Amino acid sequence: MKFSIVIPTYNRQKDLKKCLNSILNQTVLPDEIIIIDDGNLSSDFIDIYKINFNQHKINFFYYKKNHKKERRGLSESKNRSLELIQNNIFFILDDDIILETNFCEAIIKVWHSSINDSSLIGVGGIIKNHRIKKSFEKYFNIFFGINSKYYWDVNSVGFQVWNEEIKHASIGYYAHGGVCSYKLDITKKLKFSNFSGGRTALEDVDFCLRAKKYGYHFIIEPRAQLCHYPSEISREGQFSIGYKESRNRKIIFKSINKKPSFYLLAWFYWANLGWVLRQFLARNFRKGLGMIKGLMF
């Protein structure tokens, strides 16, 4: 099965180098790599990796965004890639991740076995170095309504739910945006919402929720693993990240609940209270304050 890999990037050449090297070490290789650059990768870097991928008979395509005509931002880069991809199965990967050698193989095996599932929009993997949720945190999430009957889901008030401890491939309605594969024909119909742009905008949450609304689902494959090493390069400040997250979640909530009941409104703000409280308990004070401002927008 032919497949493509898309990597949106922004001034993270060292991180991207590690990511690309982990792709070259895969047991199953893609047919094309598409780099969507919001920053300034060096020409030497591009030339070296174009040679490296071409040696493996992988087409390497570099797209430098023209910011006079195109907005900066992750969602914008993802949507631009949809016009360039040559295969119906494609991955979107963050530029600061490192794949286990069998990551692509494990994902593609799921696509092979689900070839006749017309409701399958994406197959996602597991971030193996994510912090495992402790019992207190699990009960905390239940108490504040940040939960679901599914292991992987976006609930009715727009909060993503995930469980990296699953042992077998599971159907769900959420997948981490930077470690997932998709069907191009369906993704083109939905596209990624732009919101306010930037690197943290919950576009993956919004995308998954809209996919769920139209009857599509994901499969999460725990054998497809990678490590995520969040880069501090080109990241926004914590206050800005928190502000965007709450602001955009409010937009998502309003988009799915045109006339929300008192129950849904109460659930939404109660869940947000818990989400903000988590930040303060973790001493992420600036992010928590940003979330409060975002809710007031």
For residues 196 and 73, give the distance between their C-alpha atoms in angstroms, rounded to a whole number: 8
The confidence band for 199, taking pLDDT boundaries of 50, 70 and 90, is low
- Mean pLDDT for 42-58 is 97
Q: Shortest CA distance to 183 belongs to which of 17, 15, 3?
A: 3
pLDDT in tens, 15-25: 999 999 999 99
For residues 242 and 291, give the distance between their C-alpha atoms in angstroms, rounded to a whole number: 4
Q: Which residue has the higher pLDDT, 161 or 236?
A: 161
**Alpha helices (H) along the chain:** 13-24, 43-55, 74-81, 103-113, 135-143, 184-190, 203-213, 238-256, 262-281, 285-296
Question: What is the three-class DSSP state of 154?
Answer: strand
pLDDT in tens, 89-147: 999 999 999 999 999 999 999 999 999 999 999 999 999 998 888 889 999 999 999 99
- pLDDT score of 201 more than 80: no
- Mean pLDDT for 250-275 is 94
The per-residue pLDDT for 232 is: 74
Q: Shortest CA distance to 294 belongs to which of 131, 158, 156?
A: 158
The per-residue pLDDT for 72 is: 86
- The CA-CA-CA angle for residues 10, 127, 55, to 5°, reads 60
278 Cα distance to chain centroid? 21
pLDDT in tens, 183-198: 999 999 999 988 765 5
Which residues on neighbouring strands pair with residue 32, listed in sequence order?
A: 4, 59
Q: Mean pLDDT across the chain, nearest whole number?
A: 94
The per-residue pLDDT for 281 is: 93
For residues 51 and 30, give the distance between their C-alpha atoms in angstroms, rounded to a whole number: 15
The per-residue pLDDT for 233 is: 74
Domain at 4-128+164-228, CATH homologous superfamily: Spore Coat Polysaccharide Biosynthesis Protein SpsA; Chain A (3.90.550.10)
- Percent above pLDDT 70 for the chain: 98
Report the half-sphere exposure of 3 (CA within 13 A, side-chain side).
Answer: 24
Whether the CB-CB separation of 105 and 162 falls below 8 Å is answered with no
Kindly list the domain boundaries of the chain, sorted by start residue.
4-128+164-228, 238-296
